[in-house]
Every structure is written in structure tokens, then in C-alpha cells.
Amino acid sequence: MKKITISFLTIIFACVAFWSCKKNVLTVSPYEYTDGLALLKINYSCPYFRNPGVQVKINGEKVSSLITYSTPYPGGGLNTGGNTYADYLSVKPGSNSVSLSIPKIGSTEDSILLYKTDVTLTTNDYQTLHFTDTAASTQSVLTKDAANKPDSGFTQFTFVNLIPNSTPLDLYYGTTKVASNVPFKQATEPFLLPSGGTALSWTLRQAGGTATLGTAYTSASTTANQRVFTVYARGYVGPATTDIRSAKISFAYNK
């Protein structure tokens, strides 16, 4: 009888562990729900001086916590808010309304609607909706992200210029120009760099220029093996580097 009881309990615990693991599959990052859905990342990069907490709604339904400039959601990146995962929201394909708002205190109801746009999302594709600029000048651009990781030994990047008052930009990694003459709201084709090695500085320059624009960024994590990033220029040209709105470089995790 004792052996039967132990075996029965073992089965119960095994079942509980199994279903717990199955449940965790839905919550542990990174997750990928591609079957019949679109995968959407929100890159909130609107450089408000007072930096309010903003909620994201899709088709009128709140889908985010309160996020601040500059945060890819869900997930995060380097030199951003958010976590260290490469998460995406699962969204129905086709036309979707996406809005940014400051909510009423203790409520999901909009207090100030900052921006609203309609985007068309495609099934099983990874896409990022980037928001930039502020107030009545707020704009957005939708980019398609990588579906797969690069081979071992490489890191993959796509560069997006989100600085509204910039001329076209060049992006440098160390002394190597990795993206050239990229206008506002435009993205490059994906490019690869060897992973690992000594961390070099990422810098922005006006296209064809030699002076660094804004603040450089250096982290060995930017060339982690087989990572996929969207590297983006954000802020404005002009404010001092101590100003939250100054030109900076950030990295959103895609894979």
C-alpha cells in the first residue's frame, strides 16, 4: 500500500510539473506566437522633455504597462527602458489601430491622446512600429524585422533614423561606416558584424561628415553572438548631451 501511495503521488506531481511547464511556455521570454498571427513590437521613442508614462492601445484595448522614452515594448534593448528579452505582441493580421495616450490616474481611460494611427500587419511576420517626435508632430514608421538569427559568429543589425530634425545620417561602429546616408524614418537592409571581440563605440554623423552627432554608445552586448538588433538614432539634433532629448543611439532586441 505504501508503494502504491508513493507511486500515485509521484504521478500527481509529475502531472503538475508537466502542466506548470506547459504554462510557462506561454510566459517565459522570448515567446513566439506566429501561427496565423502577426508579431508586433512597439518602439516608443517620443522625446518629451518631461517624459510622461504612456500607455499603448491596440484597437482600443490597453496592451502595455506605462512606458517612458525610450522603450521598445514588449521586451527591451540596450540604452533603452524595458527588459532584456526579444518579445513581440501577438496581433491579428490586417488593419489595426494603435494609439499612445497618458491615462487618467488609476484608470486605463485616456486622459491625453498623444497619437493614433492605423497599420496593416501581415501574418507570421515580425514587425516594429516606431514612434518619434512629439505633440502634433508625432509620427510613426513600420519596419519588417528578421525572422531568423544569423549564423554563429555574427550579429545582425538594421538601422533606423528616428531623429526628426536630422539630415541623412551615417552610422559608425568604431572607424567603420556600417550604414550610409539614411534619411529620417528610413531603415537600412540588414547587415552583419562579427560577434564578440573588443567593444567599439557606435557613433552617428551627418552624412559625409566627420563630427560625432550626440552621444556615442559602447557595450560588448551590442555584438553578442547571433543576436538580432534594430539599432536606432533617437532624440533631436541640438540639445546638450545632458538633455534627455539629445541625439542618442539605442538597440531594440529582435532575436
Model pLDDT, residue 34: 60
Residue 6 pLDDT more than 60? no
Reported pTM: 0.86
Residue 166 pLDDT more than 90? yes
The grid coordinates of residue 91 equal 496581433
Alpha helices per DSSP H over 74-222: none
Residue 7 pLDDT more than 80? no
Model pLDDT, residue 9: 36
- Residues contacting 163, CB < 8 A, separation 6+: 132, 169, 184, 233, 234, 235, 236, 237, 247
Average pLDDT over residues 166-180: 98
The SS3 assignment for 222 reads helix
Please tell me the distance from the alpha carbon of residue 205 to that of residue 213, in angstroms, as a whole number.
5
Please tell me the distance from the alpha carbon of residue 217 to that of residue 171, in angstroms, as a whole number.
12
- Amino acid symbol at 33: Y
Backbone CA torsion sign across 208, 211, 216, 221 = positive
Give the tens place of pLDDT for each residue, 69-90. 999 999 999 999 999 999 999 9
Residue 4 pLDDT more than 90? no
Of 47 and 3, more confident? 47
Model pLDDT, residue 140: 98
Domain residue limits, the chain = 31-253
Please tell me the distance from the alpha carbon of residue 99 to that of residue 101, in angstroms, as a whole number.
7
